[in-house]
Structure 1
Amino acid sequence: MLSRRDTQPKPCGPESSHRRQQEIHDDDIDPWTRIQRLFKMPSQTGLNKLNINHGWPVMVLLPLAGLAKIFHWNPTIVLVVNIAAIIFLSESISISSDELAEHLGELQGALLSATFGNTVELTAGVLALVHGEIAFAQSVMVGSILSDILLIFGCCLVTASYNKEVLEFNSALAKTLSSLMMITAVTMLLPTALYSTFPVSEIDDRVLSFSRGTSLVLLALYGGYLYFYLGTHKHLFLSNESEAGDDDDENNGGSSSADSGASLASSIIRLTTAVAATVFCTELLLESVDDMAQTLGVSEVFIAIVFIPIASNSTEGVTVIAASRTGDTDSAIRVIIDSLLQIGLFVIPFLVIIGWCIAEPMTLFFDSFQTVAMFSAILVVNHLLRDGQYAYIHGAMLLAL
């Protein structure tokens, strides 16, 4: 007996052919695309279109964070509430700083992005210095670097090359950024070498003075990197889509910037408010670190290396991983390595200078295990970039590391 479906006439013509092709195309969709469709994050759809709705989680989480502090809630709840708030605040800071950068020009916009792109790490580092927690501040910096080059970059390589042949990086971009990345690793190793050179009675002052002088050099190098990035070799950091967008802007006579001029004041207000709220949540988080460590059974270093950097880099990581799904790993390399250079060439030296100003002996001498772990990770990523080719197994190795 034939069913109703079997007795229906089979359509023919171009429409039926297109429908069959669409069904075949849907069957060929790989699991990564299906997962992306099911769990489509706001960052992938463009939060600029959701300005009305995407702020409500912050409006709910900030009062909860204050209540958790006042009524001494369970440290686990304090951790979850503040981490969730920091995730949404990081997205708000990213959107607001990007909007504000459009009004300031390339150089000023890059400096603004450098300052506010790692707001959580910078805030946590400064607050930890004020409280005399130098080791905690250093652990946050190491965690941010490891999160960028192992977790996010590894996910990018897996999603970009899954079910594909061996792919290639932009060799000029990869080699240039890998060299700058190695400078960051070397500056972390030199203080360790100093400890094996001088007597114990003299080493603290030697390392402190060396770190402050090196920090000034690194800040100058970061300024040179910005000039290289925005001036003489800007073409290395532009994708094809960006170059086409720049040409369109020139043809339109800059009408887009004129249309966005009215939002300058609102962008400043949103950025200021988001930064102030981030400082508030980070302060609450740092005040409860001891209780969190005891309740969760982990060390304070684990919280600094894992929880805070992942919360800070989550929105950026989701966006970069989604972009790499199209195979554009060059953009992922630019974003990830740029974030690493901001930490290594700007935030860490800046914290050393801040410690100098407030009489806190912040140095470039990190914990030995953290130094070895960070140098090993940078060495592996540097070798991968120099090789110029990658497959999804390389991303799996970075995730495993």
Structure 2
Amino acid sequence: METPTTRLRKSAKTEHDNMSIPQNQEDLPLVDGNKTLSVTDTPASQTSRSSDRGMPTTTRPLDMGKSGLATLKIILGESYTSYLLPFVFLGIIAGKQHWDDSLVFLLNFLAILPLASLLSFATEELAKSVGQLLGGLINATFGNAVEMIVGITAVGRGEMNIVQSSMVGSILSGSLLILGCCLAAGGLSKDTVAFNVDVSGILSSLMVVASASLIIPSILDATTHSKSDAVHDSVLSLSRATSVVLLIFYLVYLFFQLKTHANLFVDDSGTEEEEEEIKLGPWSASAVLITATLGVTACSDYLVDSVDGFVEVWGVSRAFIGLIVVPVIGNAGEFNTAITAAMKDGMDLAIGVIVGSTLQIALFVSPFLVICGWIIGQPMSLRYSTFETVVFFLSVIVMDCLIRGGRSNYYEGFLLIGTYLIIAIAFYIHPDSVETKP
């Protein structure tokens, strides 16, 4: 999903490559809802357009002028995952009718994929309409809405291992799988993939520091030989205190990015005067956002409830579901945006999407879920297994090494993808008993 980093980067990019102005301005039609008007019907518009001849313009559709059918067409045409929307109804029906757990899990997994894309699209469109600062806050809140909704549901059900694994998995998929696919896709047609070394250096440094802070409770647990209840309570208390500090880090990070150092996150290749095309107005975007959120909430309930049956039938570990399966849902929007940008030679945007989303997981979503568990009386902590902790930190270090220099190539991308596949296989055969504390 789009993050404040990508919001700032996108706001500065020109649409000159995507738009062209006809040589004869008199032939340009105007659209009002479903009715097409000629320029001769609106002299004021003709004068305005003539005065701006030669300048790229951005179409701003009026929210009030769009019919429900037009909005639906925009939504369905936004992503290929929209074809999976029928699974939303099938997943809800399967959950209500108590079908086989494996089938309920599969249907609701497929249902959340298009809903995640809709959440990403609606958040982006709403952010365009309300200004840069408020738009950044909206992206910060809803940028990882799928992970938060699924996480809150799992915490409420007491599935803490799945939540912890999904947080690590979201960072792994971003720093290894999505980044690897971007480098591979962007580097196949050129010898070297280049991106902004200043921005990538700042973001990667922030990610290393955030990750180091995030795993401190796990290190305390792993280095303490005693596994008594007192030690577990100490780790839980440390996790809650760390979560509060990480949330403060995130607020300061937003202030740093959106206010004091916003110029660092602006792409110099564009002109700041250009405005982005708004496909949905604020009311339509809000309606889509609310509807998709409700859909994700319903489907995530049935998804989490069916985990036990799915694990028994397929013999996979809960760690695999949390680390591999759940992040696939949550990162669908980032994957689509980053790969598309990389293929269009927009590696700066792709890096911003990947690292910005990863920072949101580390600084916002993970501590937020710990605080939620604290409020509802669930012992949600930042204690990851030793294997998860090592893999997690190594992936962040690898990402930092690759993007800090500002240059890479397709072979490094394939190495990252291969590393992720090895980790996925390791967690597929990873027994749940290893996670059980005596």
What TM-score results when the alignment is normalised by the length of structure 1?
0.80
Q: Pick the aligned partner of 1:275 from 287, 293, 305.
A: 293
Q: Does 1:234 align with 2:258?
A: no
| Aligned-partner SS, 2:273 | helix
Instruction: Report matched runs for 1:2-401 at 5 Å.
Output: 50-51=74-75, 57=83, 60-195=86-221, 196=223, 199-201=226-228, 202-240=230-268, 243-244=270-271, 246-249=272-275, 263-401=281-419
The one-letter amino acid of 1:237's match is F
Alpha carbons of 1:269 and 1:194: their partners in 2 closer, same or farther (altered >3 Å)? same
Give distance in 2, aligned partners of 1:389 and 1:287.
Answer: 45
Offset at 1:51?
A: 2.8
Alpha carbons of 1:200 and 1:305: their partners in 2 closer, same or farther (altered >3 Å)? closer
Alpha carbons of 1:70 and 1:180: their partners in 2 closer, same or farther (altered >3 Å)? same
Give distance in 2, aligned partners of 1:112 and 1:325.
Answer: 27
The one-letter amino acid of 1:144's match is S
Q: Which has the higher helix share?
A: 1
Give distance in 1, aligned partners of 2:404 and 2:75.
Answer: 41
Give distance in 1, aligned partners of 2:178 and 2:77.
Answer: 27
The one-letter amino acid of 1:178's match is S
Can you list the C-alpha shifts for 1:90-112, whole angstroms capped at 9, x where unaligned? 11111211222223332222221
Give distance in 2, aligned partners of 1:63 and 1:167.
Answer: 42
Offset at 1:225?
A: 1.0
| Aligned-partner SS, 2:331 | helix
Offset at 1:49?
A: 6.4
Alpha carbons of 1:171 and 1:81: their partners in 2 closer, same or farther (altered >3 Å)? same
**RMSD between aligned residues:** 2.4
Give distance in 2, aligned partners of 1:212 and 1:315.
Answer: 30
The one-letter amino acid of 1:215's match is S
After TM superposition, the structure 1 stretch with the greater mean CA deviation from structure 2, 186-195 or 376-385, is 186-195
Give distance in 1, aligned partners of 2:193 and 2:284.
Answer: 43
In the alignment, structure 1 segments of 5+ residues that lack a partner are 1-46, 250-255
Alpha carbons of 1:159 and 1:134: their partners in 2 closer, same or farther (altered >3 Å)? same
Contact 1:143 1:305 in 2 (8 A): yes
Give distance in 1, aligned partners of 2:377 and 2:158.
Answer: 10
| Aligned-partner SS, 1:362 | coil
Offset at 1:331?
A: 1.0
Give distance in 2, aligned partners of 1:48 and 1:384.
Answer: 41
Give distance in 1, aligned partners of 2:283 and 2:316.
Answer: 43
- Percent identity, aligned pairs only, is 38
Offset at 1:56?
A: 6.8
Give distance in 2, aligned partners of 1:386 and 1:346.
Answer: 23
Give distance in 2, aligned partners of 1:344 and 1:61.
Answer: 31
Give distance in 1, aligned partners of 2:118 and 2:294.
Answer: 12
The one-letter amino acid of 1:335's match is V
| Aligned-partner SS, 2:215 | helix
Give distance in 1, aligned partners of 2:319 and 2:346.
Answer: 34
Offset at 1:148?
A: 1.0
Contact 1:188 1:366 in 2 (8 A): no
Can you list the C-alpha shifts for 1:291-313, whole angstroms capped at 9, x where unaligned? 11122221122112111211221
The one-letter amino acid of 1:148's match is G
Alpha carbons of 1:325 and 1:59: their partners in 2 closer, same or farther (altered >3 Å)? closer
Aligned length: 345
Give distance in 1, aligned partners of 2:91 and 2:227.
Answer: 44
Aligned to 1:33: none
In the alignment, structure 2 segments of 5+ residues that lack a partner are 1-70, 420-438
Offset at 1:326?
A: 2.6
